[in-house]
Structure 1
Amino acid sequence: MSSTILVTAETDSARSRRWGLCVFFVALLPALIILWATPWFVTQDGPAHLYNAQIISRSFEPHSRFREVYHVRWEPLPNWVGHLSLATLLQVIPAREADRVMTTLTLVGFAASIVWLRWRVVGWRGMPMAALLAVLLSLNLPWLLGFTSFMLGACLFPITLGIWWHGREQLWPRRVAVLWALMVLGYFSHLVSLGLTVVGLVVLALFAPGERRFARAGWTALGLLPLVPLGWIYIGLTRKGGPMVPFWKQLTDPLSLHSWHAQLSWADPISLASRFILPFYEKGYYGFALLAPVVALAIALILEAVTMVRGRSTSSAVSTWPDRRGWGILAAILILGGAAGPDTLGESHGNYLPQRVLLLGLVALVPLLDLEAKTWTGRAAALALVWAVAIQSGFLWEYAATSNRSVNALLQARNAIGSNQKVATLLMGIPSRFRSNSILHADNLLGVDTGNIIWNNYETRHYYFPVQFHLEVDRPNPETLELLSIRDDPDEGGHNALLWRHVLESHHQSIDAILTWGKNAELDRISDLWFKPVYENGNVRVLRHR
């Protein structure tokens, strides 16, 4: 009888492995086709990362035009992994392909790391549903926003926790050395993903099953030692961004249901667009929220919770929860922390904090859940995940079509701008159905392979990015130029006009060409004081000095 049970278990494991891998590749395939079949699919921040990676790769050239305006801070900064990876790709493949490869790596790598964590903790059991969940989590908002370094660091979150979990009772010097390497790599990827990884290690060290808990905690603490000097270095770097002060933009009144609704809607890391619309359907209805991917995910998680509670009567389920309660505690800490946490620790220290924390909290659920379609609740959860991935892929398809139209229209002005020019961009009226705006930083592509200096280079505003403007360079402020783009100011006599006049009065001599998107009578009159149009095609115009 025991041999029959063993053979049956091995057969089930092989079947789950086979179907799990099949589901993983099939679920990812639409996103990969969309990404590679769309000529100008770009994430929001991807063009800026690509441009700055090229600046880094050409910083060693003695006659590089970039050296006159930019300098590279060769300091132990976070975000180096993303930039150096892109700079390395630029040495072997064209810039456009390098951007697509990086976007693909952060998508597939994150999904694969989640699947690997599930396998490392649970084995192949429930892998088909785990693969669906991993793909849905990989098609997330931070990825579409182009947070490359964070996504690379997010890949290290499940990898680090999985390695620790597998060897938690034998954390000898060799495994500690591996933790050291992962901590250093995590630091140079992104501070948020590193911090959440440390939280995960601490929680699991305290609550994972085992008899040698004190020894395990001690070895784990030893594995975190590299963070002491790196943390001291980072504290010094943060002084350039001012003090860290938590700030809630949405949760203005903790006692207000309206504020909590705004907070939870904002913190959602899954929705790529409004929850009240459907892909390729212009009109929005409140009823569409029931079909949104994040709602389908919530339904699937609730059904999985019901499955686990109903299964507590079996001996296998009773023994499963104590073994994996650390993952439940970690997921609860991160999900609650993301849902109620601040939007930022200060504008100069970065934004989109809740989405990052919540995303990795959802990852921590993957080793905990049953994820087997053997009961009606399990099968219903699987159907909900299939629907969520399908609709999410539809939104990605629409985003790709929008990105292709907008970016292609903008880049048709490249010949009118030329090369080795100093360019400022004025984007007027760039609303989007999506939470990520493909046109916002696409102007940085005008500097790729052209030697153009793009004054809108937003990365130069932040101390945690390596490329900065020389202080003595006369230039418009990238923060002001971005503010003109993202602030909706229909009043022609409003603040945007004052800002744009100030920019041109102070810095028009340092601008060779202006690219404008959209039209605003008041802003156009201000531009005409110093510049004249030399190119116009739909929404796009190029202006040069009179």
Structure 2
Amino acid sequence: MRAGAGAKLLYWLLAALHLWPIWGSAWFVTVDGPCHLANARILLDLVRGDEFTGRFFALHTWPEPYWTGPVIMAAVMSVAPAWVAEKAVFSLAVIAVAWSYRRLAVSLAPERPWLSFLAMPFLLHYAVAMGFINFSLSLPLLLMALHHAWHQPFVSARGYPTRMALILTLLFFTHLTSFMAAGACVALILLLRDRGEGGSGLSGLRIAVLAAVPGICLSLAYWLMHPTARGGATWVPLDDRLAWLVNGRAYNALGVDGEFYASAMTAAPVAFLGAWLLIGGWKKDWAVRTWLLLAACALVAFLVLPDVAAGGSSASPRALLFFMLLVSLAITASGAHGTLALVTVTIVIAGDIWHTTLQARTARALSSEATALLEVAAPIGDAAVVLPLNYSGNWVHSNLSSYIAATRNATVLDNFVALAPFSPVQWRPESLPLGIGDFATSNAPCVRVREYERLTGVPITHVFFWKSPAESPDSCTTSTLEQVSAWHRAAESGDALLFVQP
């Protein structure tokens, strides 16, 4: 077997290893993922014209960002169960990043395809564990945009860059932040490529602007329609962000035992080699300087931009992920010292394998809890209205009850995604559950079970307790139990309790 073919085979074997946490257990539990999965089910039911679902939710048909993930999962759920849709969308994100990164990296350094192994930490990164499905799907599209920008022929600059426009427009419908980042990178690449090849730079900018026009127009419409998306901002302290550069915050989401060290092992070598290049690599040719400039701009954005702004949150870890992605590509393009680069790749692979085994262990544990929850929820049938009460101190359990809505035609009243103005699925104003109490935001909820029927005319049929305290319940828990004391106790376990209205 040729060395190149062997490296390619090893690359895809390592990439396939990252499917282990996803497919190694019944459910791939992430923080926000269950709620996105439930909304994909709601989207499918609304498209089918389901009357029960339509009493609570409506389709938001304006061309907004964040449609790609729900549409993919809804399409899969039209022919397969919810657990398959969940695994399919995360598997697509993993394999697509592996494919698009290798494609770009090999085109930058065809004589050193082993540098493409720097992709491995980007397959199961911070946003995957958080359940940021659309953002995870946006990364391969961003890499595709960079590849096309790097190879866009200027001889056809008078025509319309259709392929680039399609990629950027699909990127808008996947994730707005990634669209803006990709648009800026594409413009810079085409400008510097044009100048590096003897042009004025205007041909490159023309291609970038034409390709981005549909997404720019849609983005302007988004900001005009959603004034709340222009709200206040907060920042992560600078010393924390500086520490993140070497401790692997872009890959570490849940902070399980060992994850800090495994993430640091994958991030620190790339960060240090990238710093060496950013300091001393500017004397290389224009192609290398282009990627160094992209990485430098991403670093500045990470250090300067807020973590919460424009209606979004957790921006800093995502900005760090962009920087790590671009600096790894700069290392690939730069022809950095062969031995040093090889050592870096080796350490990154070892750290990533360690990290993946930790993620697989965590996935199994979380899946067993999701399975336990669904076993107690089994008596809940279609057309049920479920009030979930989450007492768990584990923040990853925040949306676990959404699996109930994802697996049957039932309405679970905790659905934060449907409150977002840009969500494809929206709560109907007359069905909003906010008047019940703080069950969606507190792990010691105070609720008025009958209040939803008084406000909407629709009774709650099931109350589901998750991890409720067995001993010394607080006054709110005692009150809730009194409110359902006449209800039928349909199922229970050590972790869950289900009441059904008689």
TM over 0.5: yes
Distance (Å, rounded) in 2 between the aligned partners of 1:378 and 1:265: 17
* Alignment-derived partner of residue 490 in structure 1: none
Distance (Å, rounded) in 2 between the aligned partners of 1:124 and 1:462: 44
Q: Is the 8 A contact 1:308 1:369 kept in 2?
A: no
3-state DSSP of counterpart to 1:529:
helix
CA displacement at 1:428 relative to structure 2:
1.1
* Alignment-derived partner of residue 197 in structure 1: 182
Q: Is the 8 A contact 1:264 1:339 kept in 2?
A: no
Matching residue within 84, 96, 99 for 1:112: 99
Distance (Å, rounded) in 1 between the aligned partners of 2:414 and 2:435: 8
Structure 1 residues 358 and 69: alpha-carbon distance in aligned structure 2, compared to 1, 3 A threshold? same
Structure 1 letter corresponding to 2:14:
A
* Alignment-derived partner of residue 134 in structure 2: 149
Unaligned 5+ runs, structure 1: 1-10, 280-288, 486-495
CA displacement at 1:266 relative to structure 2:
10
* Alignment-derived partner of residue 225 in structure 2: 237
* Alignment-derived partner of residue 285 in structure 1: none
CA displacement at 1:102 relative to structure 2:
0.7
Structure 1 residues 448 and 296: alpha-carbon distance in aligned structure 2, compared to 1, 3 A threshold? closer
Instruction: Please list the CA deviations of residues 143-193 of structure 1 after superposition, one character each: whole Å capped at 9, or x if unmatched.
Output: 122212112222111101111110253352556122222222111111011
* Alignment-derived partner of residue 462 in structure 2: 513
CA displacement at 1:545 relative to structure 2:
4.0
Q: Is the 8 A contact 2:31 2:131 kept in 1?
A: yes
CA displacement at 1:67 relative to structure 2:
1.0
* Alignment-derived partner of residue 341 in structure 2: 378
Q: What TM-score do the two structures reach when normalised by structure 1?
A: 0.81
Any residues of structure 2 matched to 1:400-439 within 5 Å, and which? 400-431=363-394, 437=396, 439=397
Matching residue within 112, 120, 124 for 1:126: 112
CA displacement at 1:295 relative to structure 2:
4.0
Any residues of structure 2 matched to 1:445-456 within 5 Å, and which? 445-456=403-414
Between 1:134-143 and 1:354-363, the stretch displaced more is 354-363
Q: Is the 8 A contact 2:385 2:411 kept in 1?
A: yes
Unaligned 5+ runs, structure 2: none
Distance (Å, rounded) in 2 between the aligned partners of 1:318 and 1:335: 20
* Alignment-derived partner of residue 358 in structure 2: 395
Q: Is the 8 A contact 2:64 2:218 kept in 1?
A: no
Q: Is the 8 A contact 1:447 1:453 kept in 2?
A: yes
Q: Is the 8 A contact 1:237 1:463 kept in 2?
A: no
Matching residue within 457, 460, 463 for 2:421: 463
Structure 1 residues 171 and 334: alpha-carbon distance in aligned structure 2, compared to 1, 3 A threshold? farther
* Alignment-derived partner of residue 14 in structure 2: 27
* Alignment-derived partner of residue 441 in structure 1: 399
Structure 2 letter corresponding to 1:274:
G
CA displacement at 1:50 relative to structure 2:
1.9
Matched, 1:75 2:56: no
* Alignment-derived partner of residue 536 in structure 1: 492
3-state DSSP of counterpart to 1:194:
helix
Distance (Å, rounded) in 1 between the aligned partners of 2:346 and 2:432: 58
Q: Is the 8 A contact 1:518 1:539 kept in 2?
A: yes
Distance (Å, rounded) in 1 between the aligned partners of 2:248 and 2:315: 8
3-state DSSP of counterpart to 2:154:
coil
3-state DSSP of counterpart to 2:465:
strand
Distance (Å, rounded) in 1 between the aligned partners of 2:17 and 2:169: 35
* Alignment-derived partner of residue 302 in structure 2: 338
Structure 1 residues 89 and 308: alpha-carbon distance in aligned structure 2, compared to 1, 3 A threshold? same
* Alignment-derived partner of residue 225 in structure 1: 213
Structure 1 letter corresponding to 2:114:
P
Q: Is the 8 A contact 1:272 1:395 kept in 2?
A: no
Q: Is the 8 A contact 1:107 1:139 kept in 2?
A: yes
3-state DSSP of counterpart to 2:161:
helix
Distance (Å, rounded) in 1 between the aligned partners of 2:164 and 2:329: 20
Q: Is the 8 A contact 1:196 1:357 kept in 2?
A: no
Distance (Å, rounded) in 1 between the aligned partners of 2:230 and 2:338: 52
* Alignment-derived partner of residue 442 in structure 2: 484
Distance (Å, rounded) in 1 between the aligned partners of 2:229 and 2:283: 50
CA displacement at 1:330 relative to structure 2:
1.0
Q: Is the 8 A contact 2:124 2:251 kept in 1?
A: yes
Structure 1 residues 449 and 427: alpha-carbon distance in aligned structure 2, compared to 1, 3 A threshold? closer
CA displacement at 1:261 relative to structure 2:
6.2
CA displacement at 1:508 relative to structure 2:
6.4
CA displacement at 1:260 relative to structure 2:
5.3
Distance (Å, rounded) in 2 between the aligned partners of 1:401 and 1:542: 24
Instruction: Please list the CA deviations of residues 402-453 of structure 1 after superposition, one character each: whole Å capped at 9, or x if unmatched.
Output: 2122101111112233332111111112326xxxx2x322211212342110
* Alignment-derived partner of residue 286 in structure 1: none
3-state DSSP of counterpart to 1:77:
coil
CA displacement at 1:297 relative to structure 2:
2.1
3-state DSSP of counterpart to 2:168:
helix
Structure 1 residues 392 and 165: alpha-carbon distance in aligned structure 2, compared to 1, 3 A threshold? same
Number of residue equivalences: 487
Instruction: Please list the CA deviations of residues 475-522 of structure 1 after superposition, one character each: whole Å capped at 9, or x if unmatched.
Output: 24699433114xxxxxxxxxx45xx14x44633663221111122401
Distance (Å, rounded) in 1 between the aligned partners of 2:279 and 2:307: 34
Distance (Å, rounded) in 2 between the aligned partners of 1:274 and 1:63: 41
Distance (Å, rounded) in 1 between the aligned partners of 2:115 and 2:208: 31
Between 1:178-187 and 1:76-85, the stretch displaced more is 178-187
> RMSD of the TM alignment (CA)?
3.0
Structure 1 residues 267 and 374: alpha-carbon distance in aligned structure 2, compared to 1, 3 A threshold? closer
Q: Is the 8 A contact 2:115 2:332 kept in 1?
A: no
* Alignment-derived partner of residue 324 in structure 2: 362
CA displacement at 1:367 relative to structure 2:
3.0
Any residues of structure 2 matched to 1:223-372 within 5 Å, and which? 223-239=211-227, 241=228, 243-248=230-235, 250-251=236-237, 257=239, 268-274=249-255, 277-278=257-258, 291-303=261-273, 319=284, 321-346=285-310, 349-370=311-332
Q: Percent identity?
A: 17
Distance (Å, rounded) in 1 between the aligned partners of 2:332 and 2:181: 24
